[in-house]
Amino acid sequence: MELMLNLIINGLATGMLVFLLAAGLTLIFGLMDVLNFAHGGFFAWGAFSAVWLYSLSGSFFVAIIGAIATGIMLGIFTEKIIIKPVYGNHIQQILITLGFMLVLTEFIKVVWGPNQMAAKTPEFLTGSWELGNVILIKYRVFIIIIALIVYSMVQIALKKTKIGLIVRAGVMDKEMVQALGINIKKVFMFVFIVGSAMAALGGALIAPYSGVVYAEREWNMRFWLLSSLL
Amino acid sequence: MDTMLKVENLQTYIGQYHILQGISFQVKKGEVTVLLGRNGAGKTTTLRSIMGLNPPSQGKIYYQNVSIEGLPTYKIANLGIGYVPEDQGIFKDLTVEENMKVAMKKQDAETIDRLEWILQLFPDLKKFWKKPGGLLSGGQKQMLSIARAYLNNNQLLLIDEPSKGLAPIMVEKVMDSILEMKKETTIILVEQNFMMASTIGNQFYIIDDGRTVYSGRMSTLKEDEQLKRKYLGIA
């Protein structure tokens, strides 16, 4: 029974990380009809920038915010330069975003070198709680809590705000949204940035979870595929 | 009477097909201008070209003397042009309230008053206010689509076949609502139902094979059996 509970907690923590990746990918595909293979690259950049910022500042909070900011900047750049010219063409989207993912992965080696980087868990999140015979690893509980907060925020934004209404309407009928006087391209940009930031946050959270980050395509692709399947 | 919209030699391609090959017409302020013609003549594409959804390759469109061809759809809509598409364009998973909220540009007292007035005009929308748009009947969807386009005090409404697929009782309701809106707004109406078109319309243009081939006052068309037979297939 204890083993089962431990496995559930572990599974939930991994699932929540995949959720952070998948939610952004789903929003981007659902609204913009864009197949973004570079999404795994945002995830990797989030992980590396968080590890780097944590080693520089010593603050996990700064590392997380920095990773989100990295995701936002990458999102803006990617949408404006990479995605904009290929709206409506899936083949071109697959080719250019797959290529961009390779660029992002290789560029990590340029910035942080080709070697693996150790990712430390912040002290206040190391160790575990014992509830009877059940061991709750603090960092995994933290991931679950953060992902639940992000999930609630996304739900509130989609259901209770005007921009959320527009995003939901845009998924159903982009033309009609424009005919109601709404600049759908700005909404696209916003959604892309949110999706990218969520992927980067996922990367920042997984770094201490796996203990090490490395700039290999397989690492990015594994999470891209997982989130796509989800 | 002032001209609200002027279309000159509009030419539009959809893919490789040359759909509009020379559409020209004028819409006078405060009137209902009806575009008539057989299926596939180019009426819907004309409205979509005005809205920028199928941008024209040639020709000019002036709205209140400002050239609007080539503008993105949202800018055209924000100039004060409302659009009711043939398929109604309802966001089916959003409630009636949410459908209206997406369209609402301002939440000032004037818009709220206008919404109240619209809900009096379409009481069914008030009744199903919290229901998803996809669960409404065809007539109710049409009412929601018209209400949404009318919410922001648009000066010009483009309404595409509002009677399509509706039961006669619903056609009457929709027609009554358009007659009510006609008092305050200029309307371009695409309509196959000649009874409805002739009741509401002031001016008509007949479109055939992507060209405007005939125009005149609606009162003259009602009496011209030959013209109705030739272009509309009715007598």
Q: Convert the pLDDT of each residue in A93-125 to its tens digit.
A: 999 999 999 899 889 999 998 888 899 999 999
Size of interface A-B (CB pairs under 8 A): 57
Inspect the interface and report whether the beta carbons of B93 and A162 lie closer than 8 Å: no
pLDDT in tens, A191-230: 999 999 999 999 999 889 888 887 765 555 565 555 555 5
The per-residue pLDDT for B77 is 96
**H helices present in chain A, as ranges:** 2-32, 39-57, 60-77, 90-112, 138-160, 162-172, 174-179, 184-210, 217-229
Is A178 touching B (CB cutoff 8 A)? Answer: yes
Provide the pLDDT for residue A224. Answer: 57
- Asked if A181 has any chain B CB less than 8 Å from its own CB, the reply is yes
Rounded Cα distance between A180 and A183, Å, is 9
Higher pLDDT, B79 or A12: B79
Q: Which one of A176, A181, A183 has the shortest CB-CB distance to B85?
A: A176
Domains of chain A: total: 1
**With contacts defined as CB-CB under 8 Å, which chain A residues touch B72?**
178, 183
Q: What is the pLDDT of residue A221?
A: 57
Chain A residue with minimal CA distance to B74? A181
Please report, in angstroms and rounded to a whole number, the separation of the first and last CA atoms in chain A: 27
Q: pLDDT digits over B91-145, tens only?
A: 999 999 999 999 998 888 888 999 999 999 899 999 999 999 999 999 999 999 9
Q: Judge whether B155 is closer than 8 Å to chain A, CB to CB.
A: no
Would you state the pLDDT for residue A124? 92
Question: pLDDT at position A164, please?
Answer: 92
Would you call A174 an interface residue with chain B, using a CB distance cutoff of 8 Å?
A: no
Task: Give the count of alpha carbons within 13 A of B210, CB side only.
Answer: 15
Mutate to test the interface with B, among A158, A159, A176, A185 (most CBs of B within 10 A): A176
Count Cβ neighbours within 10 Å for each residue of A105-117 and write b for 16 or more, e otherwise.
Answer: beebeeebeeeeb
CB within 8 Å: A178 and B98: no
Contacts of B73 in chain A (CB under 8 A): 175, 178-179
Domain membership of residue A129 (yes or no) is: no
The pLDDT, as a whole number, for residue B193 is 85
Does the pLDDT value for residue B1 go beyond 90?
A: no
Least CA distance to B50: which residue of chain A? A179
Q: Using alpha carbons, list the distances in angstroms from residue B61 to A120, B26, B58, B74.
A: 63, 10, 10, 16
Segment A147-156 mean pLDDT:
93
Level-2 CATH architecture, domain B3-232: 3-Layer(aba) Sandwich (3.40)
Is A126 among the domain residues? no
- Would the pLDDT of A32 be above 90? no
Check whether A138 has a pLDDT greater than 80.
yes
Residue-range domain boundaries for chain B: 3-232
- Is residue A27 over pLDDT 90? no
Per-residue pLDDT band for B14 (boundaries 50, 70, 90) equals very high
Residue type, B70: G
A183 contacts chain B (CB < 8 A): yes
Q: How far apart are CA A71 and CA B231, in angstroms?
A: 59
ipTM of the complex: 0.91
Q: Model confidence at A53, in pLDDT bands (50, 70, 90)? A: very high
What are the chain B neighbours of A165 within 8 Å (beta carbons)? 94, 98, 101-102
Is residue A157 in some structural domain?
yes
**Buried/exposed code over B124-147 (b: 16+ C-beta within 10 A; e: otherwise):** bbeebeeebbeebeebbbbbbbbb
Checking if the pLDDT of B63 tops 70, the result is yes
B1 versus B120: which is more confidently predicted? B120
Q: pTM of the full predicted structure?
A: 0.85
Please identify among residues 94-133 of chain B the ones whose CB lies closer than 8 Å to any CB of chain A.
Answer: 94, 98-99, 101-103, 105
Does residue A219 fall inside a structural domain? yes
CB-closest option in A165, A175, A180 to B94: A165
The boundaries of the domain holding residue A154 are: 2-119+139-223
- When mean pLDDT is compared across A134-138, B111-115, B156-160, B201-205, the lowest value belongs to A134-138
B78 touches chain A (CB under 8 A): yes
Q: What is the pLDDT of residue A136?
A: 86
Q: Which residue of B has its CA nearest to A176?
A: B89
- Please give the C-alpha separations between residue A205 and each of A3, A13, B204, in angstroms, as whole numbers: 24, 10, 65
**Between B219 and A153, where is the model more confident?**
A153
